[in-house]
Amino acid sequence: MKFKSKLPYIEGHIFSYMSGLANQYNAINLSQGFPNFEPAQELKDLVARCLAENTSQYAPMPGLPALREEIARKALKCFGISVNPDSEVTIGCGATEMIFTAIAAFVWPGDEVIIIEPGYDCYRPSIDVAGGKVVVYKMKAPEFKINWQEFANYITPKTLMICISSPNNPTGSLMNKEDMDALAGLVKGTDIIILSDEVYEHMVFDGAVHQSPLIYPELRERTISVFSFGKTLHITGWRIGYAIAPQQLTNELRKVHQNTVFSASHPLQKAIALYLAQNDSYLNLPEFYQKKRDVFLQAMGKTRLIPLQCRGSYFQLFDYSAISDEGDFAFCERLVKEYGVAAIPVSRMYSDRHDDRLIRFCFAKTDDVLISAAERLDKL
């Protein structure tokens, strides 16, 4: 069969590859980002209850009204903004679906979309499928900040969209108020859409506050913000995420969502809605994950891996350049095979495979697992 692949560069999925390798070698898996602990029992019980309550047919296309209302309530509580649950919230099959959907809904062939790297690896393929032109802004180690004066040079009359993500995966860096003001200044008076990946919104540490562009009126009118119940409720396998966007953008977003997945799981949406109506324990996540980061950092203190600053997300970067000259992919393969710990090579989160000899560990794990991993890495 002759055909032209739209994504010829995809050779697999680094997160699945490393998890597979971890399983094969019986290693501690700190590579792919997911918790090794269970969600709240109460939430699981609600799923059982909802399954028994007439939820086996399609949920409404934009998402279950009760859950959209909870999302609007959460946005008011966390961001102090008013969100219309009917016209501004769309529930999808995970944040990844919402990101693809947002890009597919707006990007035409030839449109430029700016992405920031290192970053999660789903933006570029979505833009390529839509025929858009990917423009990469690279943040520099070790701070991974955005220099907005430099960034301004990446914006052209063809720029249709800018994808941002804070807290950033994999670096744990955050965008602050100054970043948001600078971005607002750059897009003012243009038709540029902001696609904001905020899946780690509740994982911000050391007193930092998550800055959503939704809070800034001049950004709010042009922003599609994407969130993840997978991250917030420890249910990455349930595949429920959502997008908040002004009505005009939401209308277009839903047209693509309707024709890709139509609607997300009905019983799971209902269970999450009931859970959120009586429980806001996600507000404790900063403290919960900061403790894990600190347990991990303390245990890793004995190793020769040098930590970079992690201010958010559930990822911690380490510099191994004092230990080896190997490329980060080879180093990670060796870590699994010889030391029994799996990590993600950060070069895989740059399109040009930029390699600063950094690796990413996920610390969404029970303390015993974090401590055992550090003990194994102490032998490096």
Angle at CA of residue 378, ends 376 and 380, nearest 5°: 95
* Residue count, binding to ligand GLN (CB under 6 A): 5
Cβ atoms of 95 and 197 closer than 8 Å: yes
**Going by DSSP bridges, is the β-strand pair 223-228/241-244 parallel, antiparallel, or unpaired?**
antiparallel
Q: How far is the CB of 31 from ligand GLN (least distance, A)?
A: 7
Which residue from 11, 48, 19, 86 is spatially nearest to 270, judged by alpha carbons? Answer: 48
Kindly state the helix (H) or strand (E) to which residue 359 belongs, with its residue range.
strand 358-362
Site for ligand GLN in 127-166 (CB under 6 A): none
Range 264-303, binding ligand GLN (CB under 6 A): none
Using an 8 Å Cβ cutoff, are 186 and 153 in contact? no
Closest to ligand GLN by CB, 189 or 237: 237
Q: Both tokens of residue 369?
A: 């697992």
Site for ligand GLN, residues 43 to 62, rule: CB under 6 A:
none
15 binds ligand GLN (CB under 6 A): yes
Where does residue 172 fall: left (phi above 0), alpha (psi -120 to 50 degrees), or beta otherwise? left
CA proximity to 266, closest of 17, 44, 60, 77 = 60
**C-beta of 54 vs 260, nearer to ligand GLN:** 260
Site for ligand GLN in 66-125 (CB under 6 A): 120
Q: Which lies closer to ligand GLN via its Cβ, residue 199 or residue 374?
A: 199
**CB 15, min distance to ligand GLN, A:** 4
Give yes or no for a contact between 329 and 348, defined as CB atoms under 8 angstroms apart: yes
In the complex, least distance from residue 9 CB atom to ligand GLN, rounded to whole angstroms: 17
Would you say 163 or 183 has its CB closer to ligand GLN? Answer: 163
Q: By Cβ distance, which residue is nearest to ligand GLN? A: 33
Minimal distance, residue 221 CB to ligand GLN, in Å = 28
Can you state the angle between helices 123-130 and 94-106, rounded to 10 degrees? 30
Among 169, 225, 263, 290, binds ligand GLN (CB under 6 A): 169
Binding residues for ligand GLN (CB under 6 A): 15, 32-33, 120, 169
